[in-house]
Amino acid sequence: MKKTGLLLALSLAMGTALAADQSTPAGTVPTNTSFPIESIVSPTYADLQCAGFVEKQLLPNATYVAGGLDTPNTSQYATGDLVFLAGQGYTLDKRYRIVRELRDPNRREEFEGQASMLRAMGQPYAELAMVRVVDTRSKSAIAKIEFSCAPVVPGDIVSAFEDRAPLPPHPALRFDRLVPPNGKPSGRIVLAKDFDAELGTGMKVYMNLGANQGIKVGDYFRAVRSYEADLHNPVDSLSFKASTTEDTQAKPPSIEQSMFNRTSGPNIRVAVFPRRAVGEILVLETTPTTSTGMIVFAMEDLHLGDGVELDPQQ
């Protein structure tokens, strides 16, 4: 009983200290219910090296994996295997990165406008492995796979390798689920690694803003979703047809779609319901127009099409 009381006192003291360390936004009450403490997941070496990216300019494909020591009996290669690299310009004992130019075989939009938005971002690539050249005496350079994220196959592209330094840990902050827009750079989650659509902690996403908007490695994005998104989801939109009242209510209210919509024009209508924050995303890599991020905290599933906004609380 004494131990329980002591733990409870310590827990309350820590919560009070955290609240005192942070400024309280106007119009809010900082309670444990409305501001849960973020439990941030730190990216591992594999997360940093295997996240993938979207690049506006196509990577040269003149250097590529031609095969391996056991070709043609083996077509997939992983850590420790020897592979043969076609093309010119390889340097003995130098590391290279193996990537794959991707295409989505499903060709299904997860949200309206996804295909055109992705075309504007560029070409998605998967990062597969890191290799080191061990022999250049033959027409094909011979390399050993030192670290693999996924199986390497013939045709995968050989590109320059840049090691990525570990990122500093995130401080203990409270997660405001109802935070209003802050005017910082914002965009959307357009694609995810492996073409996933339902996303959670540890998964990688690709967003349509990058270095041109001042985004840099180590930044954090707040993932947000408006209630209007439910109107466009074929499953969630069915809830509008369900009853939300009780038989004992004398004057039951109704949930109208206009309560969710945001419009602009002469007759501006603002949604009754605020947007909700659903997760936190750490930026692992940037290009001028895109950024690769890892979901490091999630209150619920993140979806393709969710909004992202630069989070200044880091």
pLDDT of residue 277: 92
pLDDT of residue 269: 52
Give pTM, 2 decimals. Answer: 0.82
Q: Provide the residue-wise pLDDT of the chain in tens; the chain has 314 residues.
A: 444 443 334 344 444 444 444 445 555 555 445 677 888 889 999 999 999 999 999 999 999 999 999 999 999 999 999 999 999 999 999 999 999 999 998 888 888 899 999 999 999 999 999 999 999 999 999 999 999 999 999 999 999 999 898 998 887 788 888 888 899 999 999 999 999 998 999 999 999 999 999 999 999 999 999 877 766 677 776 777 777 778 888 877 766 666 665 554 455 455 567 788 999 999 999 999 999 999 999 999 999 999 999 998 65
pLDDT of residue 108: 85
pLDDT of residue 106: 84
For the chain, which residues make up each domain, given as ranges?
36-228+273-310
**DSSP per-residue letters across the chain:** -HHHHHHHHHHHHHHHHHHHHSPPPTT----TTTSPBP-PPPP-HHHHHS--EEESSPPP-SSEEEEETTTTT---B-TT-EEEEESS---TT-EEEEEEE---SS---SSTTHHHHHHHH-EEEEEEEEEEEEE-SSSSEEEEEEEESS-B-TTPEEEE----PPPPPPP--B--TTPPP-SS-EEEEEEEGGG-SEE-TT-EEEES--GGGT--TT-EEEEEE-GGGGGG-TTGGGGGGS----TT-SS-----GGGT--B-SSS-B--SSPPEEEEEEEEEEE-SS-EEEEEEEESS-EETT-EEEE----
